Amino acid sequence: MDDVVVERREDVAIVRLNRPDRGNSVTPAVVTELGDVVEALCADDSVRAVVITGTGGVFCAGADVQEMYGVYRADGPDGLMAYLADVWMPAVQHTVRRLWAASKPTVAAFNGAATAGGLDFGLTCDARVAADQARFGESYVNLGMVPVAGGAYLLPSLVGQAKATTLLATGRLIDAEEAQRLGLVDHVCTSGELIDHACALANELSHGPAETFARTKRVVRAAETPRLEAALDESLQANIDLIARGEVRERIVAVMERFSR
């Protein structure tokens, strides 16, 4: 089964993370494929906009902790921490940069829970639609880590610094209604209506010439991009420092063991 699949609704491409048995979680290979697919679609003249969603009842659970646990069992705690610092986190950040820079309109269609990096992927998009059963959480704090995929910058830019700080510090889940009230998502609908709503919004965003949108988006994000880059760089270094601490390592291992039973 392909980990990332693409469907077409006329000139809108629907990109699905397709690992429902793993909560659509991502490995470095999967997250790289996601970036590759979105980048290729943006270069395709027959595509006017891109919708990103998940297969099944979860949008994206962030990191595939079972894959990380396999590294831990094979290489020990030092090997896992090196893997996170040298492979996993850089791969995630590379895709975040690619999603942020997408030249076509992008819409996140949250079909279910979006946590940690899974939420952050959606935050890079131009617009967000959620099914009414969707849940959202910046759950990195449960690992003792800070958001590595841009959430510490992207979330405050949408909901404000004070509300974002509370969500980042607690890691608590919020429902779709609260997410809409905070400004994290633009629309909430039933799961059966989700893709229709997302495609309709994607069509609205692609109303003008493709190059006009691309240039407009570049101008709109011109001041934001250096700030996102700085946040990504700082979060990477923060996590490299944090995973050297015994308390953080214990949290990471505990979470991996809990989800790998």
Half-sphere exposure (Cβ direction) of 23: Cα atoms closer than 13 Å: 19
How does pLDDT run across 114-137, given as a tens digit for each residue? 999 999 999 999 999 999 999 999
Contact by Cβ (8 Å): 80, 248:
no
Over 90: is that where the pLDDT of 7 sits? yes
Contact by Cβ (8 Å): 50, 102:
yes
Mean pLDDT (whole number) for 87-102: 98
* The predicted structure's pLDDT at residue 189: 97
Among 27-36, 154-163, 246-255, which is the least confidently predicted range? 246-255
Band (256; pLDDT cuts 50, 70, 90): confident
The pTM of the full predicted model, rounded to 2 decimals, is 0.96
* The predicted structure's pLDDT at residue 258: 84
* The predicted structure's pLDDT at residue 1: 67
CA dihedral 97, 241, 86, 118 (to 10 degrees): -40
Q: Percent of the chain scored above 70 by pLDDT?
A: 99
Query: Under CATH, which number does the domain 4-259 receive?
Result: 3.90.226.10
Over 80: is that where the pLDDT of 104 sits? yes
How does pLDDT run across 172-230, given as a tens digit for each residue? 999 999 999 999 999 999 999 999 999 999 999 999 999 999 999 999 999 999 999 99
* The predicted structure's pLDDT at residue 259: 76
How does pLDDT run across 18-58, given as a tens digit for each residue? 999 999 999 999 999 999 999 999 999 999 999 999 999 99
